[in-house]
Homo-oligomer: A and B are copies of this chain.
């Protein structure tokens, strides 16, 4: 029986490729729209919200921008010698947004994801923002799946712990909201890639006081991503039942992520980000994943959208190594 998930619409954009090489599978041939019946393990979900961004952002266009690139990438990783085709994955579509009631948008995200998790209990969601504000309702829905606590590994140039009075629930506040709502505890949160001249001393002190662990951008540059990501995973996984990974693409150096609203020099390289998500993908405790804060309108030749797609695929390459 076909399931119709409330508040979830079919994908706004479907892109195929009429020319095919018979010995090659494109992501567009594998990550097709879900028919409401097929049993699946992985679900791609678009969350086209970016009016909650403090700076001007067209991040709401990201889910479709990712879909446009599906026919340009294959399912095979030569680096890890895995073919993603073995995973049962589908495009579940987009969560319903409202043009002006942004609080309702957040409610829709929480409710739609709750609906998804009820309909597809074992699903590993791949959530494509949107701006970072979506992570608050997303993790709230995620939390309900588990009896125990949940942790967060956040790869981001920013701490996202702004006060909620000055601007409401924006892309600068998801972590603050999760802390204040008691959804996640600071000691279960690790942030990687926090950048100079992009955050304030007050919020650094607040984050530390809450028990959050932070690794700066320069630490990544000098110590390498691998030891830090392992530490981060340990923090997020210690005493928790599940870990949610959230990737804010502005963690990248602007050379590698030129299409984010808050672009910044001297950030992470693409290799560092891919290595990070591969390691996270390997860990069976990681049961939720989002990628946020790309502005396709400002992204030269979709460079950052493309990188985000490789972030997703590489995370899934890691997932394939898990013992099921």
Q: Chain A: residues with CB nearer than 8 A to chain B? A: 9-10, 12-25, 27, 48, 50-52, 54-56, 58, 60-61, 64, 72-81, 83, 94, 96-103, 162-163, 166-170, 172, 194-204, 206, 214, 216-219, 221, 253-256, 258, 262-266, 269-271, 274, 297-298, 300-301, 303, 306-307, 310, 313-314, 317
Contact = CB atoms under 8 A, between A and B. Distances in A.
A167 B100 contact: yes
A79 B157 CA distance: 12
Contacts of A166: 19-22
Nearest to A24: B200
Contact of A12 (B18, B162, B163, B265): B18
Contacts of A73: 197-198
Contact of A258 (B20, B21, B264, B301): B301
Nearest to A253: B270
Q: Which of A18, A80, A96, A98: most chain B Cβ within 10 A?
A: A18
A52 B51 CA distance: 9
Nearest to A73: B197
A100 B270 contact: no
A98 B263 contact: no
Contact of A18 (B96, B103, B265, B301): B96
Contacts of A314: 196
Contact of A270 (B22, B262, B266): B266
A172 B52 CA distance: 20
A5 B206 CA distance: 35
A271 B222 CA distance: 10
A265 B60 contact: no
Nearest to A256: B255
B197 A19 contact: no
Given A168-B101, A203-B23, A306 B195 contact: no
